[in-house]
Structure 1
Amino acid sequence: MNLTISPCPNDTFTFHALAHGLVPGAPTVEVRYADVDVTNTLAVTDDLDLVKVSYAALPWLLDRYELLPCGGALGRGCGPLLLARSALRSIDGLRVAVPGDRTTAYLLMRLWMGSASPASIEVVPFASIMPGVADGTYDAGLVIHEARFVYPRFGLTSVVDLGEWWESTTGLPIPLGAILARRGAVDAAAATGWIRESVRRAWADPSLSREYVLAHAQEMEQDVVDQHIKLYVNEFTHDLGDEGYGAVRGLLNRAADAGLVPAASDL
């Protein structure tokens, strides 16, 4: 069975046991690592068994994949940030770098900005966004994950915390990354059990996955890795539950009503 996830600490922590044959009854897993903007595309073009994608990409994928109720990233206080070198009143006429055009971060930004009209929106590899804003290549940049812990090092300021905006507007947690199983190729119920067991084992002894997590953490310091895992691997990673599914429907229904994504089914 193949598994496509990001190299971010929340994914490697969550899937360590499954990737290393430590989950009883689970098949051998071949792992591919790619940033989520890449996995959003790979899920369309390749035959992936289990894959991490943005919740914003679901409307284009649910005909081929089933959303699993575990393994992903959804929570509170963990949303994307729009950064700039100084405070901004508007992004009208600005050059804005984003990590992907089907990422949840970009979808939240489009909902937030309303009728604002940036001069350009450019999809940029995640690691290049903060340096690009700091050196003036872009006027603003949309960042995710560990960037919320380190952006002051680049001399940047937060224009808006889109997670806070979303939560205050809707009262819902923020749906960031989803785990999908390919229809007809993977038993979704069995995969759900394997992933939940992998999460339980990661929580039971975090030291077992530490070397693996750090090997893929793109030179993050241990304290940043620990903050990242604590924030993004939470109760929703183990089970979306009614609140998690409600957040996903809330995001996608609101985006569909605004004409930003197709209507999603099977949620």
Structure 2
Amino acid sequence: MKLTIGFSPCPNDTFIFDALVNGLIDTEGLVFEPKLEDIQTLNAGAAKAKLDITKLSFPAFFPQAAQYAMLNSGAALGKGVGPLLVAKKMVDVGDIGRCKIAIPGELTTANFLLHYAFPFVKNTEPLLFSSIEDAVCDGEVELGVIIHENRFTYQQKGLHKICDLGEIWEQRENAPIPLAGITIKRSLPDEIKRKVERLIQKSVQYSLDRYPKLSAYITSHAQAMEEDVMRKHIQLYVNEYSVNLGPNGKAAIQAFFDVYTKMHGQSGKAEDLFLS
């Protein structure tokens, strides 16, 4: 059986899915066809249910929970992993609402955390995550919300951290930040969904067992990124929650879901998000 699977070309995702999509583990009769896209492209595709399995930011997943279920393996969750708000020069908190702010997509957790921290923000511009640093440097926008490897490179470009949006979440909610998870179509047979969940866990463990070695699959998709940045990226975003969410991971998602539904004037049960 062939299944399409969407994830980003960032080192943490290629690290997690390397063994799965390249046949380095026994996939028990399943064939995975990878579709590598930036997170906002994956988020936008969820409404059309284009992929059998896909990485999604939690604000993109919640509205699609009727057709996708969250898997326990492959997630990006943790403390100290949140997006940063950066600028070319320091900006007072009171002035943030008047600034034009680049975001890596409307449906991203980064954009959600921006509005969670600063509800008065109105002027945002979605850009490809990798172009946000340059947009701030070139004066196209006054502020930028950066994610992924840009956490490690913004200072090299002369940018300043205004605040850590993830830190604000952690301090207020006393919970890890659920950035994104791996979801699967509910219409697939239950045995297939469970098998995929188990295989992703094996794939993560395969790469962890061989770390700090970086495979050609990881480095080829990282392109110009230096190896030390790749490793920092992996160490930041791949952790115990990537292997298995466990009770603490699910509790963090519950907290995120509660805040999300309150902010959007909605209701629902977080337990309905996961495989039954």
Which of 208, 220, 223 in structure 1 is aligned with 2:225?
220
Q: 253-262 or 29-38: which moved more?
A: 253-262
Identity %: 35
Structure 2 unaligned runs (5+)?
A: none
Cα distance, 1:225 vs. partner?
A: 0.0
1:70-128, Cα deviation, whole Å (9 max, x unpaired)? 101001111100111122123121111100101001001111002x244x211111111
Which residue of structure 2 aligns with residue 66 of structure 1?
69
| Equivalent position of 2:179 in the other structure | 176
Question: In the alignment, which of 105, 108, 122 is matched to residue 110 of structure 2?
Answer: 105
Match of 1:21 in 2: 23
1:259 paired with 2:264, answer yes
Q: CA deviation at 1:262?
A: 6.5
Alpha-carbon deviation of 1:209?
Answer: 4.9
Are the equivalent residues in 2 in contact too, given 1:85–1:139 (CA < 8 A)? Answer: yes
Code of the residue aligned with 2:178 in structure 1: it is P
Counterpart Cα distance in 2 of 1:50 and 1:117: 33
Instruction: After TM superposition, give the deviation of residue 259 of structure 1 in Å.
Output: 2.0
Structure 1 equivalent of residue 199 of structure 2: 194
CA positional deviation for 1:26: 4.9
Normalized against structure 2, the TM-score is what? 0.92
> Which letter does structure 2 place at the counterpart of 1:19?
V
SS at match of 2:148: coil
Distance 2:105 2:267 in 1: 17
The CA distance in 1 between the partners of 2:37 and 2:48, in whole Å, is: 14
Asked whether 1:49 is paired with 2:47, we answer: no
Question: In structure 1, the residue corresponding to 2:199 is in which secondary structure?
Answer: helix
1:219 maps to a residue whose letter is A
Helix, strand or coil: the match of 2:81? Answer: coil
Residue matched to 1:241? 246
In structure 1, runs of 5+ residues without a counterpart are none
Partner of 1:165: 168
Partners of 2:265 and 2:138 lie apart in 1 by: 31
CA distance in 1, matches of 2:138, 2:268: 39
Change (3 A) 1:264 1:105: farther
Q: What RMSD, in angstroms, separates the aligned Cα atoms of the two structures?
A: 1.6
TM-score of the two chains, using structure 1 as the length reference: 0.95
1:39 to 35, 38, 42: 42
Counterpart of 2:124 in structure 1: which amino acid?
Answer: I
CA distance change for structure 1 residues 197 and 165 in 2, over 3 Å: closer, same or farther? same
Task: From 6, 9, 18, give the equivalent of 2:8.
Answer: 6
User: Does the C-alpha gap of structure 1 residues 70 and 151 become closer, same or farther in structure 2, counting only changes over 3 Å?
Assistant: same
Secondary structure in 1 matching 2:82:
coil
